[in-house]
Amino acid sequence: MKAKQATLYTLTFILALFIGVLTSCSNNDEVAEITVTRDYQTDSKVLAKFVDINKTVGEYYLNVHKTSFKDLLSDKDWQDLQSVNPLNKQRFEKEIAELNMRLQAAANNPKTSQIVYSTYNETWIRNLTQDRIVQVENTLTSSLTRARGSNLATLSIFPGSKSQCYFSSGKKIISRIQLNIFNGSYFFFDILCKTDAKKDPNPNMNEKLITLSGVSTLPYNYFTWTAYSNDANINWQFEGQGYEPKNGGPIATATFESYN
């Protein structure tokens, strides 16, 4: 009798061990599958659609409880959100916190005139100064059909370096900014605008520093630049300084066009 019980206990132990091994393999396969199928770039694009702007303090935040019809979210967006890897979500929130720290530093910079915030469904421009040297406004593509003129210049903005372009045009121009976000979850760069510019350095040039940021994956952003000057023809100078992302190529390419 004791021999039978011992045999039964042995068989039960072996069976439990076998089931445990199968479960462990299944869990490992599941983790490996999540790691492979839910890479960070895929999840960051999903999470970017759920980012909002706190306009009181000028910060981005992740809002997974969006309810407004203006959010333009589909059922698939909500399904994709449920499949986001928790580790990727933590990394995304950390990078948004880093972006907010950069924005706070930009807002505290006395040279910064405006900060552009860009999300999946909104572009907001925060005005920090009351000067009327140059004003930048977000421009809807629907209003550009008749306004857009000929190309004036192109400015490619790279991380860790400065680039410039010069041209002469009227008081109002349009910029088409193409983003290249291949690495990371956000973009952050500066454009320094100078009017009454010359090709030689001029200490008396009017300057306007614009910080552009966002988590938007939209291919283009359009802005209208208006110079408040008594001159009909403006000597424009733009200087770009890139920070994030560091993806080996340009963060953005700004094409400037005349305004009809």
pLDDT tens digits, 216-244: 766 678 899 999 888 888 999 999 999 99
Residues 104 and 32 in one domain: no
Residue 68 located in a structural domain: no
Predicted local distance difference test score (pLDDT) of residue 185? 81
Residue 114 located in a structural domain: yes
Residues 108 and 21 in one domain: no
- Residue 32 belongs to domain spanning: 1-37
Q: What is the pLDDT of residues 58-73, one digit of tens each?
A: 999 999 888 765 667 8
Residues 127 and 28 in one domain: no
* Mean model confidence pLDDT for the chain: 82
Residue 93 located in a structural domain: no
Q: Is the pLDDT of residue 21 over 80?
A: no
Residue 146 located in a structural domain: yes
Residue 5 located in a structural domain: yes
Residues 136 and 16 in one domain: no
Residues 105 and 9 in one domain: no
Predicted local distance difference test score (pLDDT) of residue 127? 95
Residues 234 and 111 in one domain: yes
Residues 112 and 218 in one domain: yes
Quote the number of domains for the chain: 2
Residue 239 located in a structural domain: yes
C-beta separation of 247 from 162 below 8 A:
no
pTM, two decimals, is 0.80
pLDDT band at 207 (very low <50, low <70, confident <90, very high): confident
Residue 154 located in a structural domain: yes
Residue 156 located in a structural domain: yes
Residues 233 and 110 in one domain: yes
Residues 33 and 109 in one domain: no
Q: What is the pLDDT of residues 133-173, one digit of tens each?
A: 888 998 876 666 666 678 899 999 999 999 999 999 999 99
